[in-house]
Amino acid sequence: MSNERTWDMVIVGGGIVGAATLYKLQARFPHFRILLLEKEKALAGHQTGNNSGVIHSGIYYKPGSHKAKNCVDGRRELVAFAKQHGVKHDICGKLIVATDTEELPRLEKIFNTGMANGIEDMRKVTADEIREIEPHCLGIAGVHVGCTGIIDFRGATNKMAELALALQPESRVALGEECLGIASGDKGSDVRTSNGTHQTRYAIFCGGLQSDRLAKADGAVVRERIVGFRGDYYELTEQGKHKVKHLIYPVPDPRFPFLGVHFTRMTDGSIECGPNAVFTFKREGYGKTDFDLRDTVDALTYGGTWKLFLRNMGYGINEYRRAFSKKLFLKTLQRLIPSLSMDDIEPGRAGVRAMLLGTDGNMVDDFRIERRGNHIHVLNAPSPAATAALAIGSHIAEMAAREFRIGEGAVIA
């Protein structure tokens, strides 16, 4: 294939998983001409660039799961990658803090899960040790995870794409070009975009918030549906910044699929508090009142959404109240840092998480990557996918080589 619109592989989606997949595929098959399509004007414009910026340790995830293995392996590789290529990061460590006795069994379970997952630099800490690490934090017991850190995920994403293109100058990243559909062609697949049609032998879909729609457009049977949850953040003001030195997390409630409101020191020196988790009426909507008719209809005509709502009605109502009330948000933050005041926090940004929701109303917990013909779909890659991106990219490259029977260093004519 030599035409500028014919490719050995096309990757749809320019978040960190898409960029890591490009990087890993290009390294494994250096002769391939690979096109990465991203509908926004920059890479990492959605989940990657609007997450908490945390390099997760892998302490929370079920031992033996794809999440656990890929998070631990991916974290170690990501840190090495950041060191080698000058991506801004800091392995600052974090505290998981119990504030009442009811949380102690859950804290113990988290510690044991971390041990089972082989998390290094992890230890239990007492109330006094919590205060030594974070003088303004109040807790009765905790777990300190030294290998957790923070990183510029946008910078990491751009660096992965840059390195991939350096390996093969004929590969390309196309920004502002949206995938509109895919169909079988004479020599593979025709990927129709907002800028024309590209012909490719193989296609990899890393669509994040649009992953279910891309799979269905490809003819895949996907019974689950992506439902978006917006997370709002506050920032500590200049007068409040001194009250947080590292990362501070609560003990998560296992009834809900989120880690709870926490404190994160970002790579730019700011301190973020959040996020909450509220149903969003627009998959790519970051404002409290953002609305998209198609996204809303898709979510609210799906039985799994209502089962989730009914099962977690009290939690959902409280999250919505907190989304519109600085006072309630502050009250949640004060469980960990009692001395915080209204003047210590100010509204910050927001992010949206793509959650693959089953027909039973339960979140699909683990990563899910499936093949359909000469295509691979990343159907579910919620947190910690950004941390695990390089491991996920390696998995996809291995899967492509095996399932598509591509030899190392092969050239597709």
pLDDT in tens, 371-393: 999 999 999 999 999 999 999 99
Report in angstroms the alpha-carbon separations of 215 from 32, 297, 351, 372.
24, 19, 23, 9
- Cis amide bond preceding 252, omega within 30: no
* Cα first-last separation, the chain: 5
Among the ranges given (55-69, 151-165, 255-269), the one the predictor scored with the smallest mean pLDDT: 255-269
Mean pLDDT of the chain: 94
What's the whole-number mean pLDDT along residues 248-262?
Answer: 83
DSSP codes of every residue in 11-32: EE--SHHHHHHHHHHHHHSTT-
- Calculate the alpha carbon distances from 42 to 10, 23, 72, 324, 387 in Å: 18, 17, 28, 30, 20
User: With the CA atoms of 105, 111, 116 and 121 taken in that order, what torsion angle do they form, in degrees rounded to the nearest 10?
Assistant: -170
Single out the residue of 20, 70, 67 nearest to residue 48, CA to CA.
20
Q: 248, 357 in Cβ contact below 8 A?
A: no
> Percent of the chain having pLDDT more than 90?
88
Instruction: Determine how many CB atoms are found less than 10 A away from the CB of residue 347.
Output: 12
Q: Band of the pLDDT at 257, cuts 50, 70, 90?
A: low
What is the C-alpha separation between 192 and 143, in angstroms, rounded?
Answer: 50
The CATH superfamily of 6-48+154-224+366-403 is: FAD/NAD(P)-binding domain (3.50.50.60)
Residues 54-81 pLDDT 10s: 999 999 999 999 999 999 999 999 999 9
Task: List CB contacts of 76: < 8 A, sequence separation 6 or more.
Answer: none
CA 388 to chain centre: 9
Q: Is the pLDDT of residue 52 over 80?
A: yes
Asked whether the bond before 275 is cis by omega within 30 degrees of 0, the reply is yes
Can you give the residue ranges of every domain in the chain? 6-48+154-224+366-403, 225-237+269-363
pLDDT at 223: 94
- What pLDDT shows up at residue 412? 38
Which pair of structure tokens corresponds to residue 282?
A: 């627009």
Reported as type and span, the H/E element at residue 105 is helix 104-116
Whether residue 296 is predicted with pLDDT greater than 80 in this model: the reply is yes
Q: What is the pLDDT of residues 17-36, one digit of tens each?
A: 999 999 999 999 999 999 99
* Residue 412 CB partners (closer than 8 Å, separation 6+): 1, 8, 32, 201
